[in-house]
Amino acid sequence: MAKTMTVRPSVVAGMFYPGDPDVLRREIKVMLGAAGARKGFAGILGVVAPHAGYQYSGSTAAAGYARLAGSRYPTVVVLAPSHREYFDGASVYPGDAYETPLGRIPVNADLRRRLLEQTPLVTASVEGHRAEHAIEVQLPFLQSVLGDFSLLPIVLGNQRRDFCFELGGALAAVLRGEGGLIVASTDLSHYHPALVARKLDQVFVDDVKRLDPERLMDHLEHGATEACGGGPVVSFLCALGALGASHLEITRQSTSGDVTGDTSAVVGYVSAVAYA
């Protein structure tokens, strides 16, 4: 008897992004086109992208994902925070696939096994995956620019310093020589006036541009900057440093106020691309 696949269904389609696949494809195509999607950006190791609704942060995410046009990666690791469940360490989805309106993406079971063997910090669990949007909103963009790939979806339930650095080192160990891509999913400061938000967000941007996870973690811990996915970005920077990243390009920075016109309490967004 054939094994029944365990699939994590889309849970925010129709809310954070269109649920109709044709509408979704068109919307992403428009955003990528406006961002100037074109081939020729070789040596990309990682992407930082926001995870708000596409109407707010989609154009910022597209500015980063546009750099991947024409690229192929066997596996994409997506690192995300947990907005709805708190747990120690990090969880990797134990099932067979993630699903969006654009289709199913298989989970890389071999890479998952090797990561679980690399560190006890990571467990195979649905914790953090059941209702979390921070991974899911990245996937239609990845499906649109990359085509077929396997996925390693990881949610950090606790963004403690030691967890973030250990995860980054473990990812570097299992990804070395694999030719994979790492995506860190994060928004920046939340609900400050636009001028305050810009100052907080600029600290984050400067640390990320320097590829400096220690400095970023220090600033996050002391409140000099804010990011709901700050821990995943620290892990991302640790892994990429060990994998040979040489520089990082900020592809777009924005706030929700750029869309709504309300600058009294905004959410910050950034996209960035790291190169070998």
Which residue's entry shows tokens 């690791």? 77
Residues of the chain scoring pLDDT < 50: none
Q: Write down the pLDDT at residue 36.
A: 87
- What confidence tens digit (pLDDT) does each residue in 26-70 have? 999 999 999 987 766 779 999 999 999 999 999 999 999 999 998
State the Cα–Cα distance between residues 219 and 11, nearest whole angstrom.
33
Give domain limits for the chain: 20-275
Residue 57: helix, strand or coil by DSSP?
Answer: helix
The pLDDT value given to residue 40: 62
Q: Which one of 3.40.50.300, 3.40.640.10, 2.70.210.12, 3.40.830.10 gives the CATH number of domain 20-275?
A: 3.40.830.10
List the beta bridge partners of residue 248: 274
What pTM, to 2 d.p., does this model score? 0.96
Strands (DSSP E) along 85-244, which ranges?
Answer: 90-92, 97-100, 103-106, 122-124, 150-156, 181-185, 190-192
